[in-house]
Chain A
């Protein structure tokens, strides 16, 4: 068992293996994710029942919830990759962080925007400075910092190291920000509106939501693979294996 895991880890760290496998997986992931998104959107927008309290506005959750959840999951996965990079110096982890950061930033942005659009008709405000929204905004800032950091170092290795450190700093900082904002709010200006406590959701609404979450996750998997392949091909363009694979000579 341990040996298989170890073998898998070594394979995962190998650029040629990854390049070969991802090339095969990408078409399936692409077709599957896009069709899932289309199906769940149609289902969610037209066929699932109208919410008794919120009306049709609630349907934005089919974009909002997947976007917010995937933006956090991407960040956590990046911080695991950061730890792997710092401990075992696995180059693939650096590629992973660099490739996924823009995707994560995009989904954080979508999450923030769709949340604001949802918030206005439902709670009468675009934005609330509560712990959740503030920490999502800080998450967006960390994504930007990670993207900006890529170009500040001449050496690829140095850039990957610095970015890994920032990613880990962010993962420690995010809960602290969340806690401190929470604390500050409750002690000082109790939030007049709280966007928490979603009403229990019926299964007819839940099913398309789960489907859309699955679709977005697969979409991230698909775009993540694409962007990692692009990153690998810039980093390894002078290597023999890459020239052989891409018939570049």
Chain B
């Protein structure tokens, strides 16, 4: 137990020291959100309709920037070897790493996405499904990121993004749909329940697969 608390603290410390880990997704998100009105249209009616999809896509893309943070550095500096040698439960360690990565790369964006009410004219009743769907959907995307990161370690290849995007499609669809539903006065709880089910169902599977993928590099 002490061991896992130590790893959790260490991860927090590393991420908080490495300011790029949470600043770059935030900057990316803000730049994109302010580019949409300029690039597409500044008409509130058009932006209002596009807002749910735009926000979700931007969140998805900004995780593409950060998913390599989960394992790449540990692989380079030899920390993963030490974790393997420790004989401790690797899936719990990977879970901690994904959790801390989510806190630093996704949580700030979720908070910032509230500004889309002003910037993209998202109606106020869309805020609740936006925040809830992001809170439940982004952990799943981080899980996919961990798997893609574990598989594409060591080389910068197309593998990671090429894997992540198709896997994330259902989450993207359910997430944007939840917001659209609430804007049209339809009950969106079924979408949230589906997103939760996906998260609970995939959590052990993807975790197991990521650990397996990590171990494949040490064979």
Which residues from chain A sit less than 8 Å from chain B, CB to CB? 138, 141-142, 144-145, 148-149, 151-155, 157-158, 161-162, 165-166, 169-170, 173, 176-177, 180-181, 183-184, 187-188
Contacts and interface: CB of A to CB of B under 8 A. Distances in A.
Interface residues on B, range: 20 to 34
B152 A149 contact: yes
Contacts of B162: 141-142, 144-145, 148
Interface stretch (B8-16, B113-121, B165-173): B165-173
Given A152-B152, A152-B159, A180 B166 contact: no
B151 A142 contact: no
A148 B159 CA distance: 5
Ranked nearest first, the 7 interchain pairs of A and B with the lowest CB-CB distance are: A148-B159, A145-B162, A158-B216, A148-B157, A138-B166, A148-B158, A180-B170
Contact of B173 (A141, A153, A157, A180): A180
B166 A177 contact: yes
B155 interface: yes
23 contacts: A141-B163, A141-B165, A144-B158, A145-B158, A145-B159, A145-B163, A148-B152, A148-B158, A148-B159, A148-B162, A149-B151, A153-B216, A155-B216, A157-B219, A158-B217, A161-B216, A165-B209, A166-B151, A166-B163, A177-B166, A180-B170, A181-B169, A181-B173
Given A162-B216, A184-B177, A152 B166 contact: no
Contacts of A144: 158, 162
Given A144-B158, A144-B162, A152-B152, A173 B219 contact: no
B157 A187 contact: no
A162 B166 contact: no
Interface of A is mostly: helix
Given A145-B162, A151-B155, A155-B219, A162 B177 contact: no
A128 to B, nearest CB: 17
Contacts of A145: 158-159, 162-163
A153 B158 contact: no
B153 interface: yes
A152 B155 contact: yes
A151 to B, nearest CB: 6
B180 interface: yes
Contacts of B166: 138, 141-142, 170, 173, 177
B96 interface: no
Contacts of A141: 162-163, 165-166
A173 B157 contact: no
A158 B153 CA distance: 12
A173 B177 contact: no
B154 interface: yes
B157 A152 contact: yes
A153 B158 CA distance: 14
B65 interface: no
Contacts of B80: none
Nearest to A180: B170
Contacts of A173: 166-167
A149 B157 CA distance: 8
A149 B159 contact: yes
Contacts of B50: none
A176 B165 CA distance: 13
Contact of A158 (B155, B163, B169, B219): B219
